[in-house]
Amino acid sequence: MGFIKTPIKGMNDFLPSDMRLREHVINMIKETYATYGFSLIETPVMEHLGNLTGKQGGENEKLIFPVMKRGADLQRAIENGGELADSALRYDLTVPLSRYYANNQAVLTTPFKSLQIGNVFRADRPQKGRFRQFTQCDIDILGDSSILAEIELIAATTSMLTKIFEEVGISRFTVHVNDRRILKGMAKSAGFDEESFDTVFIILDKMDKIGIDGVKEELVKSGFAADAVEKYTQMFTKITEGISCGDFCSLIGADAIDSSVVDSLDGILSCVKPMISSDVSLVFDPTLVRGMSYYTGTIFEITIDGYNFSIAGGGRYDEMIGKFCGQKVCACGFSIGFERIITILKDKLGDKAFARDKKCIAILVDSKVSTDKLADVFAEATKLREQGNIVTVQPLNKNAKFQIQKLEEDGYSEFRKVYND
């Protein structure tokens, strides 16, 4: 059997032009969040299996790549019929961050503002903008129970996205904001048991794909009482364009939603609005769910017209970290869809490669050039690099025209051919 030259399905090789674009976006992310006081951290790509299967990751827990035990541990598990895997590739960055904070809390500032960029892995069905290995960028504020955390996260993320997308002429996108406590109040008011909320919300999260009738059908198929399903889905028919959090909650019922939840959400929206571009829409969206069951309060998501996926999302998860460290640690975070952002940028760029930010010079050396001449060539290349240029020194090919064409495609704009005098 011969070797296979293509990557595993759902995973990618990246060409130099791809990497230039990816590195450019990563640098913009780092630079933007640094101005808001976020610190860059790193966690391992492998995590304890028990941490990843603690009913915190919603549907993602079904997409885990487990890693088998090694050596004697594996042999004992085989002989005794035990579990063969004890770890797995991480499916997101939030669970590892929770473990990281619990392990390093004593040496971290409070509140702690973290930025994490790294690969995550999901045994998903690959499609456009959706892969089995992909880069995720997370920003989180740990130890802040106030709405300052939500305001900073939304403002910083919209600022970053505005800077990235303005380079390809995109200025309009929408920030959707909701609160899990509103969703829970609605579900409780409709007659659902609290133990079933996660299942209800997972189905509700499909509304943008299957519509309200599809949600109703799936809820009934899942065994929920028809009268509860009808009452619940009727609540969403009361949504009108631009409806405020307070107005919507008053339509649901005075006892369903605590007034402090409305005040909190209104405070976030009113503070963020003057901080972001006027082209960015900031809306209260009662249909926003977010699939992870660990969310406890405010949730948010960002979309761009013309694309059927979100480009960023997150929310408050005040109970997860306490499961690792034994004490309550308030937490709020935003996860940026890095691969989806890259997909949109490449759609807009088309076949045009992302431009280098420095002048690129190619020195093409004839094969008959003497050693003394070569020394002069490298001295010139060194000087040009010291002046801030990108310089490559290559042998001059017989088909120089094709060689120069490929270099131009790679961003080189100046060419110097060197022969013996």
Q: With a cut of 60, say whether residue 57 has pLDDT above it.
A: no
* 343 labelled ligand-binding: no
d(CA 128, CA 415): 38
* 294 labelled ligand-binding: yes
d(CA 82, CA 85): 9
What pLDDT does 33 receive? 95
* 122 labelled ligand-binding: yes
d(CA 85, CA 73): 10
Tens digit of pLDDT for each residue in 366-405?
Answer: 999 999 999 999 999 999 999 999 999 999 999 999 999 9
Contacts 24+ apart (CB under 8 A), 195-199: 196/224, 198/58, 198/293
The token pair that represents 280 in the structure block: 């960015």
Q: With a cut of 80, say whether residue 253 has pLDDT above it.
A: no
* 125 labelled ligand-binding: no
* 70 labelled ligand-binding: no
* 136 labelled ligand-binding: yes
Tens digit of pLDDT for each residue in 157-204?
Answer: 999 999 999 988 888 899 999 999 988 888 888 888 888 888 888 888
Average pLDDT rounded to a whole number, residues 50-54 = 84
What pLDDT does 74 receive? 81
* 92 labelled ligand-binding: yes
Report the top-level CATH class of 16-349. Answer: alpha beta
**Residue 267 half-sphere exposure toward CB, CA atoms < 13 A:** 13
CB 302 within 8 A of CB 173: yes
The model's pTM is 0.85
E strand or H helix at 77, and its extent? helix 71-80
**Residue 143 half-sphere exposure toward CB, CA atoms < 13 A:** 12
Name the pairing type of β-strands 390-395 and 281-284: unpaired
Nearest to 232 by CA among 259, 180, 197: 197
Domain locations along the chain: 16-349, 360-418
Nearest to 17 by CA among 360, 384, 312, 388: 360
Q: What share of the chain is helix, strand, coil (3-state, %, to 5)?
A: 45, 20, 35
Q: With a cut of 70, say whether residue 58 has pLDDT above it.
A: no
* 376 labelled ligand-binding: no
CB 188 within 8 A of CB 179: no
pLDDT band for position 13 (cuts 50, 70, 90): very high
d(CA 282, CA 197): 27
